[in-house]
Amino acid sequence: MRFGVLPRARAARGDPSVGCLFEMHASDACGWSPAPARCRTGGRRRRSQQNSAKALRSLDKDQLQKELEIAKKELARFRVSKVAGTGTLGVHDILTARKNIARINTVITQNIRASTRKAFLGKRMPHDLRAKKTRAIRRALPAHLKEKKTLRAQKKAAHFGQRLYALKA
């Protein structure tokens, strides 16, 4: 990993908006990528960790509640440190904490809805668990009733079938 300043020509002229630090990575196609965020002390800045929804779905109900409590405490801590002016956290950390809480709440809600759907399997489903679709589709007849014919229509179809025509050569 090498450090360089891009673009060199404009940075050499003393343009302050361009002379920012970049890191060179061999994996990149062009060889350059932005340097990681650094705090005032020069070390790497600690960002609050994001929860992945995939990992959260594997947890059970109690563990999810614990995760939610931890996330809420972390958000409260970030807000206190923001007001107090201590630490080097930014708006990004509060945003990440809020999104973590939302993600955990979403997974909890999805789990509850899935278990409720399973409980109502084979019975009349509550309206909020049914497929939304459109109003017209919800009110339309189901396929097996659409295909049904009245007795009179059945007799008519049986006695007067489809006429066949052939062209004379």
> Concatenated DSSP letters for the chain?
-EEEEESHHHHHTT-TTT-EEEEE-TTSSSSEEEPPPB-TTSSBPPPPPPPPHHHHHTS-HHHHHHHHHHHHHHHHHHHHHHHHT-SS--HHHHHHHHHHHHHHHHHHHHHHHHHHHHHTTTSPPPGGGS----HHHHHSPPHHHHS---HHHHHHHHHS---------
Q: Which fold has domain 53-129?
A: Helix Hairpins (1.10.287)
* Domain locations in the chain as residue ranges: 2-34, 53-129
What's the mean pLDDT in 80-100?
A: 84
Write down the pLDDT at residue 41. 46
> What 3-state DSSP class applies to 3?
strand
Tokens for 117, please give them. Answer: 């759907």
Tell me the pLDDT of the chain averaged across its residues: 79
Contact 103, 56 (CB under 8 A): yes
User: pTM of this prediction?
Assistant: 0.56
Q: What is the pLDDT of residues 120-142, one digit of tens each?
A: 999 999 999 998 999 999 999 99
Cα gap 103→47, rounded to integer Å: 17
Mode of pairing for the β-strands spanning 2-6 and 32-34? unpaired
Q: Is the pLDDT of residue 49 over 80?
A: no
